[in-house]
């Protein structure tokens, strides 16, 4: 297992302190959310400043439908440019890279790759597939965020988050009390004991701090 970046943070009701990342510690932020959590994702994006410097990748697990409409809706809530990913697109700083519907998304070096392989845990795109590829490509310099609650017991994104942690990366999980998608019971714990658990309103400010530190 990789060295933990910080102890769990349980929000205002917990006794542990928020981890203190160092400057230049992270290279990419990947965010996974259930397909029905578009409002949650929009609320997260509202909190990101236009000066955020890291590349951020957003994927809705199992999402289908209108990519363009989803992009327009998210852009309305975000100071950063939102771009729909195409195969072989480069990973660029200071923008939101939106995963397209009906394709698995992977990170391959400094660019993206799309795949039409079959669904994983019933989902394509799969949060697990993205997180696992990011763990391989970025190791301890990766940050992954899980928004919402998956309605499946195994939880798309949990295996990928575990791999990120194993490689020394930072995992942030939305506290179930603010998650608007999925059942409240049976899935309230963080997917990993070492995950940082935050309320939705706390996630963007914390992630923004990671990006701002890269400028120093």
The DSSP-derived string for 42-94 is HHHHHTS-TT--S-EEEEEET--S-HHHHHHHHHTT-SS-EEE--TT-B--TT
Q: What is the mean pLDDT of the chain?
A: 82
Is residue 1 over pLDDT 70? no
Beta-carbon-side half-sphere exposure of residue 34 (alpha carbons within 13 Å): 17
Report how far residue 169's alpha carbon sits from residue 176's, in angstroms, rounded to the nearest whole number: 22
Q: What pLDDT, on the 0 to 100 scale, is given for residue 151?
A: 54
Express as a percent the part of the chain with pLDDT over 90. Answer: 64
Mean pLDDT value of segment 68-79: 95
Region 76-90 average pLDDT: 97
Handedness of CA 194, 144, 210, 113 (dihedral sign): positive
For residue range 20-60, list pLDDT tens digits in order: 444 468 999 999 999 989 999 999 999 999 999 999 999 99
Higher local confidence (pLDDT), 11 or 119: 119
Q: What secondary structure letter does DSSP report for 139?
A: G
**Tokens linked to 142:** 């990766």
Confidence check: pLDDT of 198 > 60: yes
Pairing status of strand 142-146 against strand 170-174:
parallel
pLDDT of residue 213: 47
pLDDT in tens, 95-131: 999 999 999 999 999 999 999 999 998 899 999 999 9
**At 65, is the pLDDT very low, low, confident or very high (cuts 50, 70, 90)?**
confident
Across the range 201-210, mean pLDDT stands at 94
Confidence of residue 193 (pLDDT cuts 50, 70, 90): low
Helix residue ranges, H only, 56-213: 67-75, 127-138, 158-166, 200-213
């Amino acid at each position: 297992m990789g060295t933990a970046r910080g102890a769990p943070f349980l929000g205002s009701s917990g006794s542990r302190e928020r981890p203190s990342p160092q400057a230049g510690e992270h290279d990419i932020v990947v965010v996974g959310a259930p397909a029905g959590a578009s409002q949650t994702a929009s609320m997260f994006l509202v909190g990101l400043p236009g000066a955020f410097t890291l590349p951020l990748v957003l994927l809705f697990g199992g999402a289908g439908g209108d990519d363009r409409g989803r992009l327009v809706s998210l852009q309305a809530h975000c100071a950063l440019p939102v771009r729909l990913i195409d195969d072989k697109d480069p990973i660029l700083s200071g923008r939101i890279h939106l995963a397209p519907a009906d394709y698995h998304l992977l990170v391959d070096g400094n660019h993206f790759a799309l795949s039409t392989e079959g669904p994983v845990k019933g989902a394509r795109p799969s949060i697990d597939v993205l997180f696992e590829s990011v763990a391989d490509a970025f190791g301890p310099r990766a940050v992954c965020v899980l928004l919402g609650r998956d309605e499946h017991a195994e939880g798309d994104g949990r295996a990928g988050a575990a791999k990120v942690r194993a490689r020394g990366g930072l995992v942030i999980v939305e506290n179930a009390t603010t998650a608007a998608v999925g059942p409240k019971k049976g899935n309230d714990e963080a997917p990993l004991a070492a995950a940082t658990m935050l309320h939705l309103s706390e996630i963007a400010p914390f992630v923004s701090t990671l990006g701002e530190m890269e400028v120093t």
